[in-house]
């Protein structure tokens, strides 16, 4: 019995130490990703440099309750503001389209058109299943070496990390975020370490690449 208790105590101590080490690693990775990519993120439309193409990262139009998803709403508003200010000339909307009744790129496209962005200045990427896919495909499929990512700040750190790793000159605009600390933010603390594993250990590639589809930036007249 004493041997069993002894082994139990050792196992418990090991488990506690392993958990603490994992938590410390989680915190340090998050701090490193935020600190090393913060310089690429902008809050002001006035201050952000201009790029030809902005990449809006996909999210659902509505939450599970059926209410509007403010993350979606604010990303549309941010993209519309950048476009109107001439900070981007074309918008690439990228998201999940794996189910018949769930189509993030289409919803983003329709919302941007409703916000006054010309249809000819929007391209849809139907294979942006993850942030990694969306960012990498912007270069490999849509032929963009420079891009402005549009999402909330907590998400943009990871997008910038992925883009810079793949040699893309990424900057990001921080769309407004809902005034709450909810699931997407909690999830991001785990998504960042996973991104590090994808980039440096597993060398994860996008699920789909396909043929190249270069974006030709449209010229919009003042009265459009």
Closest CA to 162 of 149, 181, 179, 152: 149
Q: Is the pLDDT of residue 223 over 60?
A: no
pLDDT, tens only, 4-33: 767 777 877 878 888 888 899 999 999 999
Percent pLDDT > 70 in the chain is 95
pLDDT, tens only, 55-82: 999 999 999 888 999 999 999 999 999 9
Give the C-alpha separation, 107 to 73, whole Å: 11
> What is the predicted pLDDT for the residue at 221?
45
CATH class of this structure's domain 40-201: alpha beta
Give the C-alpha separation, 104 to 107, whole Å: 5
Q: What share of the chain is helix, strand, coil (3-state, %, to 5)?
A: 50, 15, 35
Confidence band, pLDDT 50/70/90 cuts, at residue 219: low
Cβ contact 175:13 at 8 Å: no
> What is the predicted pLDDT for the residue at 220?
58
Give the C-alpha separation, 217 to 207, whole Å: 26
Residue 4 CB coordination number (10 Å): 8
């Amino acid at each position: 019995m004493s041997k069993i208790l002894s082994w139990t105590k050792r196992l418990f101590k090991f488990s506690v130490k392993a958990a603490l080490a994992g938590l410390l690693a989680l915190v340090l990775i998050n701090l490193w990703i935020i600190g090393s990519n913060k310089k690429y993120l902008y809050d002001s439309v006035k201050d952000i440099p201009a790029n030809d193409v902005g990449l809006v990262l996909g999210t659902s139009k509505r939450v599970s309750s059926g209410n509007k998803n403010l993350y979606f709403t604010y990303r549309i508003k941010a993209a519309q503001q950048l476009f109107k200010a001439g900070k981007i000339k074309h918008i690439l909307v990228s998201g999940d389209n794996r189910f018949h009744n769930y189509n993030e790129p289409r919803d983003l496209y329709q919302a941007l058109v409703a916000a006054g962005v010309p249809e000819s200045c929007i391209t849809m990427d139907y294979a942006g299943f993850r942030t990694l896919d969306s960012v990498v495909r912007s270069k490999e499929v849509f032929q963009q070496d420079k891009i402005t990512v549009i999402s909330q700040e907590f998400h943009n750190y990871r997008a910038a990390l992925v883009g810079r790793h793949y040699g893309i000159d990424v900057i990001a605009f921080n769309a407004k975020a809902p005034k709450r600390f909810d699931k997407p933010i909690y999830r991001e603390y785990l998504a960042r370490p996973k991104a590090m594993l994808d980039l440096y250990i597993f060398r994860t590639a996008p699920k789909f690449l396909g043929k190249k589809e270069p974006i030709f930036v449209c010229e919009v007249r003042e009265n459009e």
